[in-house]
Structure 1
């Protein structure tokens, strides 16, 4: 059995005797243990000098290798190119794009550094799985160092259409670096179609069966692997969370009102401004909900030093102030807003006691909050999910109330429908969603990708495909 080597931007090494934190870790932990694998990435520490050799530790049968990154390069690589350029572009928000050539140069330097520090750790039969938009050029950097192992890449965020990607001055160079992989995986069929469209329109490449890309002698396999969650773990956390003091206090404070909840990272792609306006439409169109519902929005701060995120915060506070000022009664406030992180168990408990979950991003690769919300519900009295059609999760969760997040009246109508939905219909919708979540869980996701990468490796070994 080949050893699995996972590479991601950030690696949070677990404390001794503790499981690795984070959703990605949950999905990969089992595979890494089975294959006695290696997880490589940034330590989270910055340095004023060039990064030294990786720090290698072993925890729970998995080897973790982490490196520090030069602070100046980090600013250009992560805050600059990854989050000021790729993030808005791939999320169909080009107005937020701030291109600087030096950002792209730093992006490539850090990817070259990753390749340089990873290459000595590799073994002849390794299988490499690289994750997400921060590391698109890493495969090409490893190839330049002579690494001829099977390398797969999975993009967690959406992939843009050809006409949008070519807004980027270095679009062709960036796209070509994706074409050195043996397998490129996406969240949805639409993302894969956009990738193949870019190959045809931008490179003149041939495609086979809308799945495989032919570039000279090199074949790039593509696949759709919708990332899932550990359903049993979420159910367990929600039952525990329902019993914590915070959940009791929240329920008690509602005084019988139904709870609508949203929980997102503070980001323009999540559609928080549009969501608040839709809730305002609910209050305007349906006066009977006044005093009967409370909307709790939890917004986890992120990238707080970036100007675009500071602007979002200011605009949110303005809208919140206007809505609460207009509709608040002496014994009822329509919106509660928390700009802070909430512990996972507590959040799952909040989901379980709520009546409606709002997941309305303007664009999202998948959105695991939607899946966690459904898995956290009490099957005997489940809440209802209102879900954006522009989230990857909507391709699977068709039993949710699917809406376009730009249509505020439609979102308001969906909230009203969810608030008043009969128990029998809620149970039916939840049961259908839970079946999908179990079928496409986190373990199915990682198994599907690894099996497809192994197949691509066998094809290469048999001469059906050769690396450039």
Structure 2
């Protein structure tokens, strides 16, 4: 097979964004984010390939090489974007897998488009992968790909990782064509989840819906052993620490504090504008703290960064309107000329700006109603090289299991939110350090490189057990753990 690759990543998006220069010329720049930081060195070192969508509807551009990777764009039409991406992926699967915080919508054309696009991705991976190669498929948009790929290329070692929660059995059972999703995932040798309970939910469903016999973390399918296990994802700790140590970033943090009122204590929320993130409940709790006099506009300010997300979707448009209305109400009732209790930023921010905010914040408030992990929590911890600052963290974020010394909170309980925020504001320097140090150790010892290496090493071992051997993928040593990120 010509132009084939020992290691192939398959994800909804390519690891690059198209950039248009002032003269109209176009080029590709690496996308931000931990997943790209973790996998790009491995793909590059293996001379590997990455299949994904460019993010723009229309015909896919020709495959191209950049930064040591072969990139294979998969085209999505405007109709695909509407039905597969915004429909089945984000209108059905996303809310259902986040405990139905918003009511999922079920439409047959969406499911048909999801299947068709998943097949397109599977065909791309089958074309790219070398004999006995390794393919790593990512996330909820592509849950049918492993089985489709297995049918096309039974020689391959296939891994899958779900970045969002996997729902309890009772919720998953609501999904039309639910068994198809399970069969799709069972095409992989290794199915990775954020938390152990998610893996248990998946295995339980294989018995209930497919009549299989899961034992511990394994289930046998067509003579193959499929393993389901938790691999909690993490961040590029080195990148965050280097930014936090940058004098320019530190100066920006000081400037932010001065502009926000100098001596006022800073509460910070950083989220995508999504109904799973608990922004409305956070604002409600903060408004009540102002109303009952627990905090005042003179001594506390909340900065809420809400990154635009899926703004073509009606539910997200309505959420934005509600959030902005509540921000306006709080500022109108409790603000003063030149000083407001809530600074609301509906915009994306670059990495340096975010780390400056992390350094400036006295209290980071991360209160999703449901979240697979929440990497902002880990970024805040990694940035606080001074061992100061306080983290208020939802019990329903995957990160809570790894960061138990945070101020843990039930985000559905406004009184509990108020308590946690107040306790965090009152924590002195000694208590902050006592809580922060073990969290920093946890995050540094379990960074994004370790996550990728643990998954791929496990996949290699499992594939050996399934008589596939290790192929050409090199999985051992510091080169894998730290390649390109140190």
Compute the TM-score of the two structures, normalised by the length of structure 2. 0.89
**In the alignment, does 2:273 pair up with 1:266?**
yes
Corresponding residue number in structure 2 for 1:398: 404
Between the aligned partners of 2:363 and 2:406, the Cα distance in structure 1 is 11
Tell me how far 1:255 sits from its aligned partner: 2.8
Q: Deviations over 1:171-226 (max 9, x none)?
A: 122222111211100001121121122222222321112x1112352321111110
Q: Is the 8 A contact 2:396 2:410 kept in 1?
A: yes
**In the alignment, does 2:35 pair up with 1:36?**
no
Between the aligned partners of 2:11 and 2:266, the Cα distance in structure 1 is 37
Tell me how far 1:285 sits from its aligned partner: 4.1
Q: Is the 8 A contact 1:159 1:194 kept in 2?
A: yes
Higher deviation after alignment, 332-341 or 28-37: 28-37
**In the alignment, does 2:112 pair up with 1:109?**
no
**In the alignment, does 2:9 pair up with 1:9?**
no
Corresponding residue number in structure 2 for 1:179: 186
Q: Deviations over 1:109-133 (max 9, x none)?
A: 1111112233222211311100000
Tell me how far 1:93 sits from its aligned partner: 1.7
- 5 Å-filtered alignment, 1:71-82, equals 71-82=78-89
Corresponding residue number in structure 1 for 2:318: 311
Tell me how far 1:294 sits from its aligned partner: 0.1
Higher deviation after alignment, 335-344 or 364-373: 335-344
Tell me how far 1:145 sits from its aligned partner: 2.1
Tell me how far 1:11 sits from its aligned partner: 0.4
Q: Structure 2 vs 1, CA of residues 21 and 327 (structure 1 numbering), >3 Å: closer, same or farther?
A: closer
Tell me how far 1:462 sits from its aligned partner: 7.0
**In the alignment, does 2:333 pair up with 1:326?**
yes
* RMSD of equivalent CA atoms: 2.1
Corresponding residue number in structure 2 for 1:466: none
Between the aligned partners of 1:141 and 1:167, the Cα distance in structure 2 is 23
Tell me how far 1:95 sits from its aligned partner: 4.1
Tell me how far 1:250 sits from its aligned partner: 4.6
Q: Is the 8 A contact 2:101 2:369 kept in 1?
A: no
Q: Structure 2 vs 1, CA of residues 36 and 189 (structure 1 numbering), >3 Å: closer, same or farther?
A: same
**In the alignment, does 2:442 pair up with 1:418?**
no
Secondary structure at 2:65's aligned position in 1?
strand
Corresponding residue number in structure 1 for 2:474: none
**In the alignment, does 2:466 pair up with 1:455?**
no
- 5 Å-filtered alignment, 1:144-223, equals 144-209=151-216, 211-223=217-229
Q: Is the 8 A contact 2:393 2:408 kept in 1?
A: yes
Between the aligned partners of 2:220 and 2:154, the Cα distance in structure 1 is 21
Tell me how far 1:98 sits from its aligned partner: 1.3
Q: Is the 8 A contact 1:76 1:107 kept in 2?
A: yes
Q: Deviations over 1:286-344 (max 9, x none)?
A: 43544111000010111101110111111112222222222223464211111111122
Q: Is the 8 A contact 1:206 1:215 kept in 2?
A: no
Between the aligned partners of 1:334 and 1:322, the Cα distance in structure 2 is 11
Corresponding residue number in structure 2 for 1:143: 150
Corresponding residue number in structure 1 for 2:103: 96
Secondary structure at 1:160's aligned position in 2?
coil
Between the aligned partners of 1:323 and 1:143, the Cα distance in structure 2 is 54
Secondary structure at 1:287's aligned position in 2?
coil
Secondary structure at 1:223's aligned position in 2?
strand
Q: Structure 2 vs 1, CA of residues 173 and 224 (structure 1 numbering), >3 Å: closer, same or farther?
A: same
Corresponding residue number in structure 1 for 2:64: 57
Secondary structure at 1:3's aligned position in 2?
strand
Q: Deviations over 1:437-468 (max 9, x none)?
A: 011110110001000110111011179xxxxx
Q: Is the 8 A contact 1:299 1:338 kept in 2?
A: yes
Secondary structure at 1:318's aligned position in 2?
helix
Corresponding residue number in structure 2 for 1:242: 249
Compute the TM-score of the two structures, normalised by the length of structure 1. 0.92
Q: Structure 2 vs 1, CA of residues 249 and 373 (structure 1 numbering), >3 Å: closer, same or farther?
A: closer
Query: For structure 1, which runs of at least 5 residues remain unmatched after alignment?
Result: 464-468
**2:450 aligned residue (444, 456, 466):** 444
Secondary structure at 2:260's aligned position in 1?
helix
Corresponding residue number in structure 2 for 1:225: 231
Secondary structure at 1:270's aligned position in 2?
coil
Between the aligned partners of 1:100 and 1:330, the Cα distance in structure 2 is 50
Corresponding residue number in structure 2 for 1:377: 384
Count of equivalent residues: 456
Corresponding residue number in structure 1 for 2:34: 23
Between the aligned partners of 2:106 and 2:428, the Cα distance in structure 1 is 50
Tell me how far 1:352 sits from its aligned partner: 0.6
Higher deviation after alignment, 149-158 or 211-220: 211-220
Tell me how far 1:399 sits from its aligned partner: 1.2
Q: Is the 8 A contact 1:388 1:403 kept in 2?
A: yes
